[in-house]
């Protein structure tokens, strides 16, 4: 998106568009249609505001600043709001800003995050650490389209303009000089400057900038003092976003109206991401904290796609209302909450996406029950996609799933395989499989988790020992008895290995006889008495996932 397009977007009338509820799975191995299990995006800033941009520092995950601009024929005003807890609460920082300033971008100092600089149409303002009022930077600069603090030097800031090149300050913003060495200049004096800036986390001397015109990407290895064009692997024309991956050193992303490109050599050469679904005009890219192979791409029309295997295949997440801006990912410790939607489950302890759309800030939690993509190698190893729940049975667990009872025992998958408290696990409707590295090479390397124990908070007192018969069996290990239809099911469906020991007697829940075992809950259905369906396994996997807020 060019600076002119951005300004046009800011002054246009913003209207909310209905959130998309039906989505399409994009997977090169197993395409299909599905309805997303995610609850959708939730607006987390107060209504009545018009937010256009989010900015975050490079070193903290909880700090966010939201920039808002007034719209024609409204009583909205320029606003800057800051959150130090990932969007849970916001503090207004408006004092000293002109009421009609149309903000474009900003940057937060990497060391003392109380210091910020914001730019708008006709003004550049600085908020020093500890100050309560913004001060204008009285330097006759063209309107700034991109600005960024140097991670290694808080006094060094680079700013870019769309048509007048770049500028740099070495004193925190008081004085600025042109810094466009190496950038082309036409006969009219136009110099394409940065509309997006990125700095390599592991080497502060390496910078990338995106321009609105060809070649689209320029690179600096001396802290922005000079720039060289980069064209290897890039389609002709300009771009809109360039960014370094925060956790995969040397990996960078570039987006334009024509698609997305990836670099793995610090921005020197690029490769088009040919697998990106058609029709996605990317305007933003985010990487999931703690998962370097997982990326999210937002399209200009509000679509959001996610890959968990570096672009081998994609899955579509719930869409955003238009118009859309950038998206950022927060680590679990700063998961925001939906503050304007009563009754919405708050999902804690999971990565979260924040996005700017329809004049607001929106949040989407990414629990393990978020659909993921299956790579070609995983398919070859035995993994398979289950369309009913839009999840994959991991190749790590597929053979055990089949051997231990398949669909009848476990139901459909409810999550992807992920590491939980040091164990690789995968959730299903009726249970959970876990990989035990301490038992590798034995028949018990893959086990059924003790979800019955987890679901049952208080165990009943053990009963007095009784004599076992053909229709009942007493287990001294837990002091419980299994009898009649439950005993017949227990013996026919794997016994202790599949269900574990009984941990309650037969009890009544919802006017139905049930009995809890270490790994399952058996339920007796009177309407099917005398048939093979009279005893069924309860959906305890689903119950626990709902308790955790990971499933609707």
Q: In the chain, helix, strand, coil percent, each to 5?
A: 10, 35, 55
Confidence of residue 73 (pLDDT cuts 50, 70, 90): low
According to the model, what pLDDT value does residue 545 have?
Answer: 93
Q: How confident is the model at residue 339 (pLDDT cuts 50, 70, 90)?
A: very low
Q: In the beta sheet, which residues pair with residue 480?
A: 475
Distance of CA 24 to the CA centre of its chain: 18
- d(Cα 256, Cα 278) in Å, to the nearest integer? 13
Residue 211 has pLDDT above 60, yes or no: yes
Model pLDDT for residues 475-504, shown as the tens digit of each residue: 999 999 999 999 999 999 989 989 999 999
Query: Quick one: tokens of 429?
Result: 């409707």
Environment class of residue 465 by beta-carbon count within 10 Å: exposed (0-12), middle (13-18) or buried (19+)? Answer: exposed
Q: What is the dihedral of CA 272, 274, 276, 282, to 10 degrees?
A: 30
Please tell me the number of Cα atoms within 13 Å of 278 on its side-chain side: 1
By percentage, how much of the chain surpasses pLDDT 90? 49
Banded pLDDT at 38 (limits 50, 70, 90): low
pLDDT at residue 26 tops 80:
no
**Amino acid 30: pLDDT:** 33
CB 94 within 8 A of CB 103: no
Q: Residue 83: pLDDT above 90?
A: no
β 512-517/520-524 pair status: antiparallel
Which residues sit opposite 254 in a β-bridge? 242, 261
Angle in degrees, CA 64, 69, 71, rounded to 5: 145
Mean pLDDT of 35-63: 71
Q: What is the mean pLDDT of the chain?
A: 85
Kindly state the tokens that stand for 390.
Answer: 């839009």
Is the Cβ–Cβ distance between 346 and 338 less than 8 Å?
yes
Question: For 3-8+50-365, CATH number?
Answer: 2.130.10.10
Could you give the strand order of the β-sheet that contains 207-210, starting from the edge strand earlier in sequence? 196-199, 207-210, 217-220, 228-230
Tracing tokens 């109380």 back to the chain, one arrives at: 114
Of the listed ranges 170-184, 344-358, 368-382, the one predicted with least confidence? 344-358
Q: Please provide the distance, in angstroms rounded to a whole number, between the alpha carbons at the two ends of the chain.
A: 36
Instruction: Report how far residue 151's alpha carbon sits from residue 153's, in angstroms, rounded to the nearest whole number.
Output: 6
With cut-offs at 50, 70 and 90, classify the pLDDT of residue 194: very high
Q: What is the pLDDT of residues 384-418, one digit of tens each?
A: 989 888 899 999 999 999 999 999 999 999 998 98
At residue 550, the pLDDT reads 87
Rg (CA), the chain: 28
Q: What is the pLDDT of residues 151-168, one digit of tens each?
A: 999 899 999 999 999 999
How far apart (Å, rounded) are the C-alpha atoms in residues 209 and 179? 13
Q: What is the pLDDT of residues 492-541, one digit of tens each?
A: 998 998 999 999 999 999 899 999 999 999 999 999 998 989 999 999 99
Looking up tokens 């998958």, which residue turns up? 413
Q: pLDDT: is 44 or 125 the higher one?
A: 125
Kindly tell me if the per-residue pLDDT of 263 is higher than 80: yes
The SS3 assignment for 80 reads strand
Mean pLDDT of 96-102: 87
Where do the domains of the chain lie? 3-8+50-365, 376-449, 472-547
pLDDT of amino acid 241: 93
What is each CA distance from 57 to 116, 224, 330, 379, in whole angstroms?
Answer: 10, 19, 12, 39
CA 420, CA 423: separation in Å to the nearest integer? 5
415 against 552, higher pLDDT: 415
Weakest mean pLDDT among 8-12, 95-99, 117-121, 136-140: 8-12
Distance CA 55, CA 278 (A): 29
Tell me the three-class secondary structure of 209-227, residue by residue. Answer: EECCCCCCEEEECCCCCEC
Over the stretch 295-313, which tens digit does the pLDDT of each residue have? 999 999 899 999 998 998 8
The torsion angles phi and psi of 132, rounded to 5 degrees, stand at: -110, 0
Q: Round to whole Å and give the CA distance between 37 and 397.
A: 22
Instruction: Give the confidence band of 59 by pLDDT, cuts at 50, 70, 90.
Output: low
Asked whether the beta carbons of 480 and 503 are under 8 A apart, the reply is: yes
Per-residue pLDDT, averaged over 62-74, amounts to: 77
pLDDT at position 60 is 59
By the 8 A CB rule, do 353 and 370 touch? Answer: no
pLDDT mean over 7-11: 37
Choice among 90-94, 460-464, 504-508 with the minimum mean pLDDT = 460-464
pLDDT of residue 140: 86
**Is residue 148 within 8 Å of 111, Cβ to Cβ?**
no
What's the pLDDT score for residue 33? Answer: 27
């Amino acid at each position: 998106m060019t600076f002119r397009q951005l300004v046009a977007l800011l002054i246009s009338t913003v209207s909310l568009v209905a959130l998309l509820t039906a989505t399409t799975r994009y997977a090169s191995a197993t395409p299909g249609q599905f309805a997303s299990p995610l609850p959708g995006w939730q607006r987390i800033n107060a209504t009545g505001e018009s937010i256009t941009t989010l900015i975050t520092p490079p070193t903290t995950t909880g700090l966010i600043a939201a920039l808002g601009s007034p719209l024609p024929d409204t009583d909205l005003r320029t606003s800057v709001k800051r959150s130090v807890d990932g969007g849970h609460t916001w503090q207004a920082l408006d004092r000293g800003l002109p009421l009609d300033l149309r903000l474009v971008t900003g940057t937060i100092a990497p060391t003392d995050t109380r210091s910020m600089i914001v730019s708008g149409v006709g003004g550049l303002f600085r908020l020093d650490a500890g100050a309560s009022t913004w001060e204008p930077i009285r330097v006759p600069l063209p309107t700034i389209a991109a600005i960024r603090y140097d991670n290694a030097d808080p006094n060094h800031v680079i700013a870019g303009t769309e048509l007048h090149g770049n500028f740099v300050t070495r004193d925190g913003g008081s004085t600025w000089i042109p810094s466009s060495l190496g950038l082309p200049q036409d006969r009219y004096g136009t110099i394409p400057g940065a509309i997006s800036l990125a700095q390599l986390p592991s080497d502060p001397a390496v910078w990338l900038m995106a321009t609105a015109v060809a070649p689209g990407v320029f690179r600096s290895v001396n802290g922005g003092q000079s720039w060289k064009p980069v064209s290897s692997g890039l389609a002709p024309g300009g771009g809109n976003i360039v960014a370094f991956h925060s956790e995969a050193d040397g990996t960078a992303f570039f987006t334009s109206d024509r698609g997305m490109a990836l670099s793995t050599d610090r921005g020197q050469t690029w490769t088009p991401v040919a697998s990106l679904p058609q029709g996605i005009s990317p305007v933003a890219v985010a990487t999931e904290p703690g998962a370097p192979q997982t990326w999210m791409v937002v399209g200009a029309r509000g679509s959001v796609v996610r890959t968990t295997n570096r672009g081998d295949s994609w899955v579509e997440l719930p869409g955003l209302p238009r118009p859309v801006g950038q998206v950022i990912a927060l680590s679990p410790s700063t998961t925001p909450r939906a503050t304007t939607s009563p009754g919405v489950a708050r999902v804690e302890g999971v990565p979260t996406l924040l996005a700017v759309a329809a004049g607001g800030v929106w949040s989407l939690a990414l629990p393990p029950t978020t659909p993921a993509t299956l790579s070609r190698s995983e398919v070859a190893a035995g993994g398979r996609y289950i369309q009913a729940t839009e999840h994959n049975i991991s190749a790590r667990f597929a053979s055990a799933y089949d051997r231990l009872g398949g669909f009848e025992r476990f139901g459909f998958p409810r999550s992807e395989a992920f590491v939980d408290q040091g164990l690789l696990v995968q959730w299903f409707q009726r249970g959970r499989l876990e990989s035990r590295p301490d038992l590798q090479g034995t028949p018990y390397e893959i086990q059924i988790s003790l979800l019955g124990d987890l679901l049952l908070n208080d165990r009943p007192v053990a009963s007095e020992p009784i004599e076992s018969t053909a229709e009942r069996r007493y287990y001294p290990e837990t002091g419980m008895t299994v009898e009649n239809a439950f005993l017949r099911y227990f013996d026919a469906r794997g016994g202790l290995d599949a269900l574990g020991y009984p941990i309650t007697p037969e009890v009544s829940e919802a006017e139905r006889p049930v009995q809890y075992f270490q790994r399952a809950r058996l339920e007796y259905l009177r309407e099917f008495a005398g048939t093979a369906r009279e005893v069924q396994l309860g959906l305890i996997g689903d119950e626990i996932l709902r308790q955790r807020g990971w499933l609707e």
